Structure 1
Amino acid sequence: MAALRDCKAWQDAGLVLSTSSNEACKLFDAVLTQYATWTNNESLGGIEGCLSKLKAADPNFTMGHVLANGLELIGTGRSVRLDRELGSAVTAMVALSKAQPLTERERLHVSALDVFARGQLPKACELWEQILQSHPTDLLALKFSHDTYFYLGYQRQMRDSVARVYPFWTPDVPLSSYVKGYYSFGLVETNLYDRAEKVAHEALAINQTDAWSVHTIAHVNEMKAEVEKGLKFMKETEKNWKSSDMLACHNYWHWALYYIEKGEYEAALTIYDKHIAPVCLASGSILDIVDNCSMLYRLHLEGVKLGDRWNDLLGVTKKHTKDHILLFNDVHYLMSFLGAKDHKTTEELLTTLQELARAPHEDHQLSLAPHLGLPLCQAFVEFENGNCDKAVDLLYPIRYELVQVGGSDAQRDVFSLLLIHAALNSKSEAKRNLARCLLHERDLLRPKSPMTERLIRKAAAVHSMA
């Protein structure tokens, strides 16, 4: 790993940091490096360890506060609406910035986080883009915007934001190969699969432990239903990415999806029990929680018996019932409540979301709740209650708008599968015909998909019985 940058090195890179502490600058670099590479690096002291040392090195270093608060906010497990301590930290950061002679770039960073904290995610991205126009190698602005575009479902922006600065990330710039990984993910989410795979392999040729580039290739194989290729790739590269503690669970989730696609449920559950569930229970990371909920729900749709797994997961998801930070997270927590048959918590999630959606607010996600978030959640509830017709009526009209709840195409596929299963199990002939049409559509998008073939056979059987 390259030497951590001190005050002068940041200045030489055109990214002045307003502190006289070389130690603070190096620790800032250490945290940024771990965030950019999705790994808590023990030799650096882990993100939490470095952040506490960073605060001690210079308590008034504004960009240190930006980094610490930004990582909390971008993790989507806490928000200033719910968490007084985080709210105070953001307020203190803004006050500190006003009392210091900062650079324009640093001021924009503070403003971006301030609006992000209030739920104005698109506005935060505009401010990060402003930074990148004059400082294209500002990795913090690039990564914060990349992750936020992902939450917004802004697929082209996620790709193009990186494309605009890509030529500046020459091999001599620290962490430049990881920027290839970010770009490759933007390409995969805009269906440019061959280019995505090529760029991801370029990144891996420079650094084989780049778990995000592995993740891009996992997406390519998932979206093309190239199951055997996907299984082979994950197995061959596992040793390189399994120590990336922030992303390993998600990469194992992709691995398990190939087995669900094949109908090899025991193999999928083995990965779940060994690499996904224990990590989620230990980390409490929202990405890990979402993966757990999503995977069990896919297996549930396939009719797999899940034993106590839903109840085990409930211990992690229940504390987030009233969060309503991202609709994408809400609907995944809901899957676990429904799976565990916890009617009281299900009702609590829906009523608190309805109340928040009615109140006046500036929060981008909550503005989507009335016409997207609530119908999506209600469709899951209706399906579990056996009201398949109602589930289809709720889900079908919004299917092309669901990209706005964020996540990746692979993650949102669970909504498409719910619609297909609801239509297949409907009492209405028209809706069963819709199921067949949706399966034809899926078959052309993912040729030779074993799951689609299974569902087409099921649809034919349902049709012949009707």
Structure 2
Amino acid sequence: MAPVCLRDCKAWQDAGMSLSTTSNEACKLFDATLHQYVTWTNDKTLGGIEGCLKKIKEADPNFVMGHVISNGLELIGIGRSPIIDPEFRKELNVMSDLAKTQPLSEWEELHVAALETFAKGNLPKAAEMWDWILLDHPLDLLAIKLAHDSYFYLGQQTQMRDSISRILPYWTATTPLSSYVKGMYSFGLLETNFYDQALKVASEALTVDPKDSWSVHTIAHVYEMKAKIQEGLTFMEQTESNWKEGDMLACHVYWHWALYFIEKGEYEAALTLYDKYIAPMCLASGSMLDIVDNSSLLHRLQMEGVDVGKRWDALVGVTRKHTDDHVLIFNDLHFLMSSLGSGDREMTERLLRSLQELSNSPGDHHEHSLIRELGLPLSQALVAFDSGNYDQVVALLFPIRYKIVDIGGSNAQRDLFNQVLIRAAMNSKTKSHQHLARSLLIERDVLRPNSPLTERLMRKASAVHTLV
């Protein structure tokens, strides 16, 4: 990343986004925090995100947008829930109270309102509000990134792409961090199946800054979705030195690397990456993305028949404390994988029980409103798969397979549930389920030609059932 020129009060005003503080130091620290959020880094030269947030409050404890970015990062990190975390709820209330006691610009008021909406669990409305901000402030990186991440959590792929496409013309090559905005756009293109265009845009972004781990991540996805496994492995090897120090996303990029090895059936190589990078990074960070990646990777390896040993035990020690969060169904499902994998029946039962209770009275919380239709059947399917009740897995998953996108995450992440359905149908004793397995494998082969994993599953299925 090029040296950061941090904006003071006047610079923010000149950009059309006046900040309600007289502290130039607070404004610069706000910019420093924003730069790190967008670039997925904890830049030691800037004090890291945590250091910058602390200094913002020291420079001006009443700076509303300082509270906005601090609370926004907590919310978008989805590791804390104001519903069950009274300290976090207090921090949000401080932000709201400050906003009522001082004159703010309409831009600032909208940011406060969007965060309050997100905190109440209305993610779709919050994302919409950040997009409204961008109509008048297309250079507002905070709104761009918060909208992008929210649409990702919602599985709203088209919105994620279009939210960026609308503001791209305002970002010239000389605008700081414009390549990172292109990187975000590349991911939206990828998730809406414009693979070649996504590869082109991400490559352009990396030409500007090879350390852009989000663009690296897009390219990793492209090679996976096109089943170009050797190209993906070569890309990972050639670029590792550029992204491995990006502490906020490196674990996830290593996860993609491990997926290539699973595709090829090189399980020891995948486990080596897990033991050397993926698990240690998760234990060190406790970040939700890292937790999800660890759960997903171990579950995929187990489905391949790999004995992952005691690795679940270390992971469940991290996930157990999030059992009652219920911020995203996507996360809950990965917590469940860890409790099933480790044999923690108490955690499994507690998670399922609390989901059932929330489904009875979801209120206005978007994720809670999806529990009955998606959260419960997906959870029950994972439990059934774990116990070998394959007919029940098919009965639960097949009717909702085209709705699973609503739990959020990427196509690559959600592919785990496609694999669960395929493997359950393959292992079922019911003839119609075996025919379903054949159809799903043909479908997968058409969408992802030359996939070693698909070919392996086809061979396995044909050894047990006739596919013609």
Normalised by the length of structure 2, the TM-score is 0.99
Q: Percent of aligned positions with the same letter in both sequences?
A: 65
State how far apart, in whole Å, the 1-side matches of 2:292 and 2:365 are. 21
Could you tell me which residue of structure 2 aligns to residue 417 of structure 1? 419
Query: Matched residues in 1 for 2:59 and 2:170: separation?
Result: 31
In structure 2, the residue matched to 1:241 is 243
Tell me which of 384, 406, 409 is aligned to 1:407: 409
Question: CA deviation digits over 1:168-227, x for unaligned, max 9?
Answer: 011222211100000000000000000000000000000000000000000000101100
What is the one-letter code of the residue matched to 1:85? Answer: E
Other-structure match for 1:327 = 329
Instruction: Output the CA distance in 2 between the equivalents of 1:23 and 1:196.
Output: 38
Measured after TM superposition, the shift of residue 446 of structure 1 is 0.6
Deviation at 1:375, TM superposition (A): 0.2
Specify the alignment match of 1:156 in structure 2. 158
Partner Cα distance (2:376, 2:29) in 1: 43
CA distance in 2, matches of 1:2, 1:448: 44
Q: Which of residues 340, 365, 368 is equivalent to 2:367?
A: 365
Report whether the alignment pairs 1:383 with 2:385. yes
Find the aligned partners of 2:87 and 2:414 in 1 and give their Cα distance.
33
The residue identity in structure 1 corresponding to 2:188 is: G
SS of 1:304's equivalent?
A: coil
**One-letter identity of the residue aligned with 2:254:** Y
SS of match in other structure, 1:81? coil
User: How far has the Cα of 1:104 moved from its partner?
Assistant: 0.2
Distance in 2 of aligned mates of 1:358 and 1:174:
48
2:122 is aligned with 1:120: yes
- Matching of residues 45-60 of structure 1 within 5 Å: 45-60=47-62
> 2:223: which partner in 1?
221
Amino acid at match of 1:121: L
1:292-311 matches, within 5 Å, as 292-311=294-313
Q: Deviations over 1:131-171 (max 9, x none)?
A: 10000000000000000000000000000000000000112
Q: Aligned residue for 1:178?
A: 180
Task: Return the match for 1:206 from 196, 205, 208.
Answer: 208
Aligned to 1:42: 44
Q: What residue in structure 1 maps to residue 398 of structure 2?
A: 396
In structure 2, how many angstroms separate the alpha carbons of the residues matched to 1:151 and 1:98?
30
Per-residue deviation, 1:64: 0.2
Distance in 2 of aligned mates of 1:189 and 1:154: 9
Comparing 89-98 and 155-164, the one that deviates more = 89-98
Q: How many angstroms apart in 1 are the aligned matches of 2:84 and 2:240? A: 38
Q: Say which of 61, 64, 77 aligns to 1:62.
A: 64
Deviations 1:226-259 (A, max 9, x none): 0000000010000000111000000000000000
Decide which moves more: 84-93 or 29-38.
84-93
- Give matches, 1:340-355, under 5 Å: 340-355=342-357
1:411-433 Cα deviation digits (max 9, x unpaired): 00000000001101101011011
Q: Match for residue 439 of structure 2?
A: 437
CA distance in 2: counterparts of 1:456 and 1:235, whole angstroms: 30
Give me the whole-angstrom Cα distance separating, in 2, the residues matched to 1:114 and 1:167: 30
The C-alpha deviation readout for 1:325-369, integer Å capped at 9, x for no partner, is 100000001001111111111010000011111124110000000
Tell me the C-alpha RMSD between the 2 structures.
1.0
Equivalent residue, structure 1, for 2:26: 24
C-alpha distance in 1, partners of 2:411/2:361?
31
Runs of 4+ residues deviating >3 angstroms: none
The Cα of 1:382 is off from its aligned counterpart by 0.6
Mapped to 2, the partners of 1:192 and 1:198 lie a distance apart of 10
Q: Which residue of 2 aligns with 1:105?
A: 107
Q: Does 2:188 align with 1:169?
A: no
The match for 2:97 among 95, 98, 116 is 95
C-alpha distance in structure 2 between counterparts of 1:367 and 1:2, whole Å: 42
Q: 1:131 aligns with which of 118, 130, 133?
A: 133
* Structure 1: segments with no counterpart, 5+ residues: none
**In structure 2, what is the Cα distance between the partners aligned to 1:427 and 1:385?**
15
- 8 Å CA contact retained: 2:122, 2:366: yes
The Cα of 1:2 is off from its aligned counterpart by: 2.9
CA distance in 2, matches of 1:14, 1:360: 39
Task: Give the residue type in structure 2 aligned to 1:95.
Answer: D
User: Do the aligned residues in 1 keep the contact of 2:362 with 2:368 (CA within 8 Å)?
Assistant: no
Note the alpha carbon deviations across 1:91-124, whole angstroms, 9 max, x for none.
Answer: 1111111111100000000000000000000110
Q: Is the 8 A contact 2:362 2:369 kept in 1?
A: no
Q: CA deviation at 1:82?
A: 1.0
> In the aligned structure 1, how far is the partner of 2:207 from the partner of 2:252?
22
State the SS of the aligned residue for 1:225: coil
Using the TM superposition, give the Cα deviation of residue 314 of structure 1 relative to its aligned residue in structure 2, in angstroms: 0.9
Judge conservation of contact 2:441–2:458 (CA < 8 Å) in 1: yes
- Separation (CA, whole Å) in 1 of partners of 2:94 and 2:54: 16
SS at match of 1:43: helix
**Pick from 2, 5, 18: which aligns with 1:3?**
5
Q: Give the whole-Å Cα distance in 1 for the aligned partners of 2:349 and 2:194.
A: 41
1:265-284 counterparts in 2 under 5 A? 265-284=267-286
Q: How many residues matched?
A: 466
Question: Equivalent residue of 2:138, what SS?
Answer: coil
Report the Cα distance in structure 2 between the residues aligned to 1:170 and 1:8, rounded to whole angstroms: 21
d(CA) in 1 for partners of 2:174, 2:59:
28
Aligned mates of 1:383, 1:257 — CA distance in 2: 21
Q: 1:464 to 1:193 in 2, by over 3 A?
A: closer
Q: SS of the residue aligned with 2:167?
A: helix
